[in-house]
Amino acid sequence: MTVLRSCVILAALLGPCLATSEASLLTVNPIRRVVNMLQGMQTKILEEGKKEEVLFDKFMCYCKTGVGQLEKAIADADVKIPQVESALKSAAAEKAQLEAETKEAQKARAEAKEAIATATALRAKEAAVYAKESGDMKTNLAALAKAIASISKGAGGFLQTSTASVVRELSIDMDISSADRDQIVSFLSGGQGYAPQSGQIVGILKQMKDTMEADLAAATKTEEAALANFDALVAAKEKEIDAATAGIENKLTRVGNLGVEISAMKEDLDDTAKTLLEDKKFLAELQKSCSTKEAEWEARCKLRSEELLALADTIKILNDDDALELFKKTLPGSSLLQVQVSSNQVLKQALTALKSSGHNDYKLDLIALALRGKKVSFEKVIKMIDNMVALLGKEQQDDDDKKEVCEKQIDKAEDDMKGLTIAISDLEKELADTKEEIATLTDEIASLTQGIADLDKQVEEATYNRKEENEDYKSLMANNRAAKDIIGIARNRMNKFYNPKMYVEPKVQVEEGALVSVSSHAFADPGPVPETFGAYSKKSEESNGVLAMMDNLVADLDKEMQEAEVEEKDGQAEYEEFMADAAEKRVMDSKSISDKEGLKADDEAAVQKLTEERQAKMKEAMATMDFLSATHKDCDWLLQNFDLRRDARRGEVDSLKKAKAVLSGADFS
């Protein structure tokens, strides 16, 4: 490195000397200038070393700090991950337990509702039976009463009345003795001349009437008891339903909250795990980079010391008195200014002329390479230039011939293609209307299908957004209340200093059996201010402005909470309306899709027939198209770049001729 720098310095020193006059340089000691330059290098190296040392120290400080931070972050993550996993497992178990309890509560509620429905049906059936039986018994009692009255009066036409028929049926159905039944049947079957002992018959009928009245009373009592039991059962079951419903709602709310917490913990766990991997990877890379940087710094310092030592030794050698005396004798200033003009200048002028075309060509590069050679023959280069000019002329003639042939072939093929295109266009026009209708139906079906999918997604998003909005509303209300409390505490603390009369001593709150002072930690009193200056002037005016700002903040919070309540109610109403409209739209769109698919199937059958006719014409057109494509593939590049290639060759020929003229002795300077 030292030798290279010395050479560069000497070149920088000698370069300007070649451009100055010989007389001005004779007064300058070139060795002294070299020594000065070496000393300047020493200074620069030392300055660079100091700057690099500062950067290195900063880097190592960064290494130390970064490694410590990463190691702490990794340790914290290693502690956090098991904790989050444990909390996640506990929350999942609690959620599963709540879901199981919710299902049991729902099952119990359904059983209670089913019990009410069963009891209601049974009660209706029992009431109907009682109504029929009581009605029959009341009718029969009325008939017995009439029969007793008629027989007691001795009415002769009783046996021909409908009441007698009822009594006859009762005598058969009721549970009475055989002798009594025979007497009643004999009485009811007798003719007009039969004179029974009426008192005995009346007694039997009264006994039947008393028995039936007792049966009616018993049935009525049984009905009233069944009705009371039914009412009690329904009341008990309704209480069970209400309790189960409240429990279900509470458990569903807890399940929802746990679901959100589980999702947040999973996301936190995933983020922590990813961050842990990245931190470990970055720590390894950082440790490796720091170790590498230390090794590089040691090597750099060693190399810098060696360079400085070399410069010092060089300066010592050049500054030796004997050496200086010798340099005065052997290195006169004029000896550094001898400039020889050789054929190199001619070669450089030829290269400049050769590059004047501005185009790159490997043949030109070959000639330029020959000109840069240390041993070059002008006759050989001139011959190369003549051959190059001839070759460029032949290439241009080949391009001219091919351009003419290509243009003729393309014109003919394009004319043939136009005729085939017209024939195909006639067939395509016939297909256009049907295909357009199919495309329209396809788009409409796709649009309706996508619309249903979008609608389902919108319903899902609306439900998700409604839930998020409700959570945001609850969070906002809680945060605003907390903010108002904090502002109140801050305002009270300012009043303690600026407005003592308005200061209110903080109350002691009782929470879970412990006494906690609201301001015991937040606002510790530092005691009286040490006396160091004159009387302190309170910033009363500034404090009034701050207090006013606090009042405005509280007012803004109250306004925001009122607006949030209104927005929450409106949002819930809009959500319910949207869900109803979405359900109706989905039914209508599904029916429309079914109708349009039927129409599309009919149109596709018609298109199939027309497409087969069109394909026959297309095959003929394809053959012509292939020929035209092959022609374009062979000719397009030449046609597009013809002018550019021609101009480039002209420029190359001109450059070659100039280079030849220079080599032949012409001067273009």
Q: What is the pLDDT of residues 387-402, one digit of tens each?
A: 878 888 888 888 888 7
Which pLDDT score, from 0 to 100, does residue 342 have? 46
Hey, is 517 helix, strand or coil?
strand
Local confidence band at 1 (pLDDT 50, 70, 90 cut-offs)? very low
Number of domains in the chain: 3
Structure tokens belonging to residue 654: 């001109």
Local confidence band at 95 (pLDDT 50, 70, 90 cut-offs)? confident
Question: Could you tell me if residue 300 is inside a domain?
Answer: yes
Contact of 163 with 150, CB cutoff 8 Å = yes
Least confident of 126-130, 287-291, 319-323: 319-323
* pLDDT > 70 in the chain, percent: 75
Chain centre distance of CA 37: 64
Q: What is the DSSP letter of 338?
A: -
Mean pLDDT for the chain?
75
Residue 293 has pLDDT above 80, yes or no: yes
Same domain, 295 and 318: yes
Question: Could you tell me if residue 283 is inside a domain?
Answer: no
Local confidence band at 364 (pLDDT 50, 70, 90 cut-offs)? low
**Mean per-residue pLDDT, 457-486:** 84
Same domain, 160 and 209: yes
Question: Could you tell me if residue 537 is inside a domain?
Answer: no
Contact of 186 with 195, CB cutoff 8 Å = no
Residue 330 has pLDDT above 50, yes or no: no
Question: Could you tell me if residue 502 is inside a domain?
Answer: no
Local confidence band at 155 (pLDDT 50, 70, 90 cut-offs)? low
Which pLDDT score, from 0 to 100, does residue 3 have? 34
- Whole-number Å distance between alpha carbons of 58 and 64: 10
Across the strands, what pairs with 517?
Answer: 508
Question: Could you tell me if residue 6 is inside a domain?
Answer: yes
Local confidence band at 74 (pLDDT 50, 70, 90 cut-offs)? very high
**Rg of the chain on CA atoms, in Å:** 58
Which pLDDT score, from 0 to 100, does residue 83 have? 92
Residue 93 has pLDDT above 90, yes or no: yes
Which pLDDT score, from 0 to 100, does residue 357 have? 57
Which pLDDT score, from 0 to 100, does residue 437 have? 84
Which pLDDT score, from 0 to 100, does residue 52 have? 85
Q: What is the DSSP letter of 534?
A: S
* Cα–Cα separations (whole angstroms), residue 549 to 94, 501, 539: 46, 20, 15
Contact of 480 with 557, CB cutoff 8 Å = yes
**Mean per-residue pLDDT, 332-346:** 45
Residue after which a domain boundary falls, among 239, 269, 299: 269
Same domain, 312 and 378: no
Within 13 A of 627's CA, how many CA atoms are on the CB side? Answer: 15
**Mean per-residue pLDDT, 512-536:** 34
Provide the total of helices (H) and of strands (E) in the chain, helices listed first: 11, 2
- Whole-number Å distance between alpha carbons of 309 and 305: 6
Residue 143 has pLDDT above 90, yes or no: no
Which pLDDT score, from 0 to 100, does residue 356 have? 63
Q: What is the pLDDT of residues 234-256, one digit of tens each?
A: 999 889 899 989 988 898 888 88
Which pLDDT score, from 0 to 100, does residue 305 have? 85
Nearest C-alpha neighbor of 410 from the set 200, 255, 624, 561? 624
Contact of 367 with 381, CB cutoff 8 Å = yes
Same domain, 262 and 300: no
- Residues contacting residue 658 through CB under 8 Å, at least 6 positions apart: 353, 354, 356, 668
Which pLDDT score, from 0 to 100, does residue 335 have? 39
Same domain, 363 and 444: yes
| Rama region for 527: left / alpha / beta (φ>0; ψ in -120 to 50; rest) | left
Residue 515 has pLDDT above 50, yes or no: no
Residue 487 has pLDDT above 90, yes or no: no
Local confidence band at 376 (pLDDT 50, 70, 90 cut-offs)? low
Structure tokens belonging to residue 648: 């480039």
Least confident of 73-82, 320-329, 332-341, 431-440: 332-341
Calculate ∠ Cα 89-95-98, nearest 5°: 145
Residue 525 has pLDDT above 60, yes or no: no
Which pLDDT score, from 0 to 100, does residue 232 have? 92
Residue 195 has pLDDT above 50, yes or no: no
Hey, is 510 helix, strand or coil?
strand
Structure tokens belonging to residue 613: 């006719």
- Type of residue numbered 287: Q
Higher-pLDDT residue of 225 and 538 is 225
Which pLDDT score, from 0 to 100, does residue 368 have? 64
Contact of 179 with 104, CB cutoff 8 Å = no
Which pLDDT score, from 0 to 100, does residue 348 have? 65
**Mean per-residue pLDDT, 175-187:** 72
- Type of residue numbered 201: I
- Whole-number Å distance between alpha carbons of 543 and 634: 88
Question: Could you tell me if residue 568 is inside a domain?
Answer: no
H-helix or E-strand containing 390? Answer: helix 378-498
H-helix or E-strand containing 636? Answer: helix 540-663
Which pLDDT score, from 0 to 100, does residue 81 have? 92
Same domain, 219 and 322: no
Same domain, 40 and 159: no
* Cα–Cα separations (whole angstroms), residue 589 to 106, 154, 598, 602, 661: 35, 86, 15, 21, 87
Structure tokens belonging to residue 419: 């005729």
Domain span holding position 476: 345-481+579-669
**Mean per-residue pLDDT, 356-363:** 58
Same domain, 94 and 107: no
Contact of 308 with 45, CB cutoff 8 Å = yes
User: 338 φ, ψ to 5°?
Assistant: -75, 120
Same domain, 387 and 302: no
Nearest C-alpha neighbor of 304 from the set 595, 48, 101, 597? 48
Hey, is 537 helix, strand or coil?
coil
Which pLDDT score, from 0 to 100, does residue 591 have? 81
Contact of 363 with 391, CB cutoff 8 Å = yes
Here the contacts of 46-49 (C-beta below 8 Å, separation 24 or greater) are: 46/308, 49/301, 49/304
Local confidence band at 303 (pLDDT 50, 70, 90 cut-offs)? confident
Which pLDDT score, from 0 to 100, does residue 535 have? 39
Q: Where are the beta strands (DSSP E) in 450-546?
A: 508-511, 514-517
Hey, is 536 helix, strand or coil?
coil
- Whole-number Å distance between alpha carbons of 540 and 494: 10
Question: Could you tell me if residue 559 is inside a domain?
Answer: no
Residue 86 has pLDDT above 90, yes or no: yes
Same domain, 16 and 104: no
Same domain, 363 and 238: no
Question: Could you tell me if residue 52 is inside a domain?
Answer: yes
- Whole-number Å distance between alpha carbons of 504 and 114: 61
Residue 98 has pLDDT above 80, yes or no: yes
Contact of 35 with 318, CB cutoff 8 Å = yes
H-helix or E-strand containing 513? Answer: none
- Which CATH number belongs to the domain containing residue 162 in this structure? 1.10.287
Query: Can you list the alpha helix ranges (DSSP code H) found in 154-197?
Result: 162-173, 178-189
Across the strands, what pairs with 511?
Answer: 514
Which pLDDT score, from 0 to 100, does residue 363 have? 57
**Mean per-residue pLDDT, 113-140:** 88
Same domain, 251 and 121: yes
